[in-house]
Amino acid sequence: MSANIIALLFLFLSTVLAQDAFIGVNIGTDLSDMPHPTQVVALLKAQHIRHVRLYDADRGLLLSLANTGIQVTISIPNDQILGIGQSNSTAARWVSQNVVAHYPATNITAICVGSEVLSTIPNAAPILVNALKFIQSALVASNLDGKIKVSTPLSTSVILDSFPPSQAFFNHSLNPVLVPLLKFLQSTNSYLMLNIYPYYDYMNSNGVIPLDYALFQPLSANKEAVDSNTLLHYTNVFDAMLDAAYFAMADLNFTNIPIMVTESGWPSKGDAKEPDATLENANTYNSNLIKHILNNTGTPKHPGIGVSTYIYELYNEDTKDGATSEKNWGLFDANGKPVYILRLTESGSVLSNDTTNQTYCTARDGADKRMVQAALDWACGPGKVDCSPLLQGEPCYEPDNVFAHATYAFNTYYQNTGKAPESCDFNGVAEITTTDPSHGNCTSSTGGLNGTFPNATAPSMNSMSSDSTSSMFSQSSSLLLMVGILTWSIIFLPTARFM
Ligand SMILES: *[C@@H]1O[C@H](CO)[C@@H](O)[C@H](O)[C@H]1NC(C)=O
Ligand SMILES: *[C@@H]1O[C@H](CO)[C@@H](O)[C@H](O)[C@H]1NC(C)=O
Ligand SMILES: *[C@@H]1O[C@H](CO)[C@@H](O)[C@H](O)[C@H]1NC(C)=O
Ligand SMILES: *[C@@H]1O[C@H](CO)[C@@H](O)[C@H](O)[C@H]1NC(C)=O
Ligand SMILES: *[C@@H]1O[C@H](CO)[C@@H](O)[C@H](O)[C@H]1NC(C)=O
Ligand SMILES: *[C@@H]1O[C@H](CO)[C@@H](O)[C@H](O)[C@H]1NC(C)=O
Ligand SMILES: *[C@@H]1O[C@H](CO)[C@@H](O)[C@H](O)[C@H]1NC(C)=O
Ligand SMILES: *[C@@H]1O[C@H](CO)[C@@H](O)[C@H](O)[C@H]1NC(C)=O
Ligand SMILES: *[C@@H]1O[C@H](CO)[C@@H](O)[C@H](O)[C@H]1NC(C)=O
Ligand SMILES: *[C@@H]1O[C@H](CO)[C@@H](O)[C@H](O)[C@H]1NC(C)=O
């Protein structure tokens, strides 16, 4: 490629892609207890997730996403591709039912025509580009083609010899599909959609790829991979794969098609053969990926050209087949509880405000009431939470039940101890959530540590309690009497177990 073309390409990409890259999240639904669409949307809002990708065009979810400002990529499932690729009118009907019916209330911004079609259902390859074209013409007919992009996510397995990136090329036997596909993407200003899984590249590399290189962790300079043709230095698998895709497109003379990563992630749990599917690695990968994307870092070949990326995925999908890892790619469990707390301080708003800092502690539904009461007493006593807002007439008195009162006290304690996960245990009767339990004028985080006890072991002890499950009981302190709802208190640390 001449320097001129490179300069032109850079100009093109930097003007066309001047807008910031975003982080989105994929929503797979293979859960035995799939949350209701309204709960899904509540989680997205709480986490400031502004971009999602669905694997279909589920009506309930699309309706719930209406008027939320969330941008939605929808998909045509692989089992509908053949029908749509063979019939213009089937395609038109699909667009009318799944797009026109929801737009603009639901801000549909892209349609994925199938998923990894070339690698998973090669028999559909001959009609794939037709399917895209038919969908596009239906959008044109509805005057939506300027608003909604059409593409098809590819597996990186269609890119051969991906390292060094400058030598990468598309599997030539797929050229009869890829060349018209790239022409289509170019003429419609759409994206090459790619699913990039450094986890599998690492797993399949037989130790050639260092774990740190897959996880975006700092590498010593001598471990960075250098492309001997371009002398570009690669510090992570993700960027190397993106550049391999840029080079593979250039090999077919397409130099101005931007890339969107429709899937990337890391599993948090695996079976014995998947020792690197861990909470720690999943957290490291996704935290680093999000920072990398939101920073618009770009790749060595195209520095500063942001590549929007959808994390795989929102929920752990417990009913997925296959290895344990298959069920554990999620950021959240079915209750919306984070599987791990992403390390995202200083990286903007998506997923960070809430998973890093906007987590809360509540009394666990279904916990033993007596144990919740004991934990509440501990929080208001030795735990030094100011429980005066729980007094009758004060903002947190209503609803007047032990779970609501305990949630106020647990959350205040949790917020005041810097949200250390171990400060939301209370002998197992508390749990971390992303739902703010504040209501009316009752906000826990303003409670402050205002107890009267200097230390957890300070309250006076006596034997007034009739309970015998613990060796340590305390008489109500003056504060507890003042609060008026607490009669006794078992002394225990939030993480301690009953003996
Ligand atoms: C959808 O989102 C895009 C990007 O933010 C915005 O430009 C557009 O106005 C939105 N469309 C609707 C219908 O809300
Ligand atoms: C498909 O239908 C659209 C209208 O929805 C029409 O504009 C287009 O020409 C048709 N294409 C083919 C190949 O029949
Ligand atoms: C290239 O694609 C063809 C057709 O799908 C497939 O049979 C072949 O295995 C692929 N080659 C490689 C090296 O992946
Ligand atoms: C790309 O362009 C070059 C120069 O114009 C040409 O020689 C080559 O055949 C083209 N390759 C393809 C795959 O079209
Ligand atoms: C952010 O981008 C700058 C260059 O624009 C780069 O120097 C820096 O390393 C990037 N930070 C991260 C976390 O990717
Ligand atoms: C999250 O909380 C920590 C500690 O309280 C603070 O240092 C950090 O700035 C906060 N991050 C954000 C994004 O608010
Ligand atoms: C996230 O937190 C940062 C820093 O506290 C703040 O500037 C930003 O507005 C927040 N974003 C959202 C969407 O609340
Ligand atoms: C909250 O407090 C304000 C002022 O203290 C009061 O006017 C308002 O009625 C209170 N709201 C509730 C729901 O108690
Ligand atoms: C703590 O207690 C003092 C005196 O008892 C009171 O003035 C102050 O408002 C309390 N602080 C909080 C955060 O409740
Ligand atoms: C409180 O704890 C400190 C150490 O954390 C200890 O030195 C002090 O004696 C304790 N005070 C009381 C009243 O138990």
263 has catalytic annotation? yes
Please tell me the distance between residue 51's alpha carbon and the centre of ligand 1 in angstroms. Answer: 11
Please tell me the distance between residue 359's alpha carbon and the centre of ligand 7 in angstroms. Answer: 14
Ligand nearest to C-alpha 396: 8
Please tell me the distance between residue 357's alpha carbon and the centre of ligand 6 in angstroms. Answer: 6
| Complete DSSP assignment for 159-215 | EES-SSGGG-EE-GGGHHHHHHHHHHHHHTT--EEEE--HHHHHHTTTTSS-HHHHT
**Atom 9 (ligand 1) nearest CA:** 107
How far, in Å, CA of 418 to CA of 439, rounded?
22
Q: Does the CB atom of residue 205 touch ligand 5 within 6 A?
A: no
> Residue 445's pLDDT is what?
52
Q: Does the CB atom of residue 292 touch ligand 5 within 6 A?
A: yes
Which residue in the list 224, 263, 317, 422 is annotated as catalytic?
Answer: 263
Ligand nearest to C-alpha 341: 6
Domains of the chain: 18-327 (3.20.20.80), 360-498 (1.20.58)
Please tell me the distance between residue 166's alpha carbon and the centre of ligand 5 in angstroms. Answer: 22
For 417, the token pair is: 């101890």
Please tell me the distance between residue 449's alpha carbon and the centre of ligand 9 in angstroms. Answer: 9
Question: In ligand 7, which atom is closest to the CA atom of 352?
Answer: 1
Query: CB neighbours (10 Å) of residue 366?
Result: 8
**Atom 6 (ligand 10) nearest CA:** 455
> Residue 452's pLDDT is what?
29
For 389, the token pair is: 């807002």
Residue 108 host element (H or E): strand 107-113
DSSP 440: T
> Residue 170's pLDDT is what?
98
3-state helix, strand, coil in the chain (%, to 5): 40, 15, 45
Q: Does the CB atom of residue 460 touch ligand 9 within 6 A?
A: no
> Residue 349's pLDDT is what?
57
For 446, the token pair is: 């303003």
User: Residue 436, exposed/middle/buried by CB under 10 A (0-12, 13-18, 19+)?
Assistant: middle
β-sheet bridge partners, residue 219: none
Q: Does the CB atom of residue 479 touch ligand 9 within 6 A?
A: no
How far, in Å, CA of 369 to CA of 201, rounded?
49
For 208, the token pair is: 């050639």
> Residue 443's pLDDT is what?
82
> Residue 447's pLDDT is what?
37
116 has catalytic annotation? yes
How far, in Å, CA of 348 to CA of 290, rounded?
10
- Please report, as a single letter, which amino acid is at residue 225: A
The pTM score is 0.69
Mean pLDDT by 10 residues, the chain (499 residues): 52 55 97 93 87 98 96 98 97 98 98 98 97 98 98 98 96 98 98 98 93 94 90 97 98 98 98 96 96 94 96 97 97 88 67 58 93 95 92 93 95 83 88 83 57 27 28 31 32 34
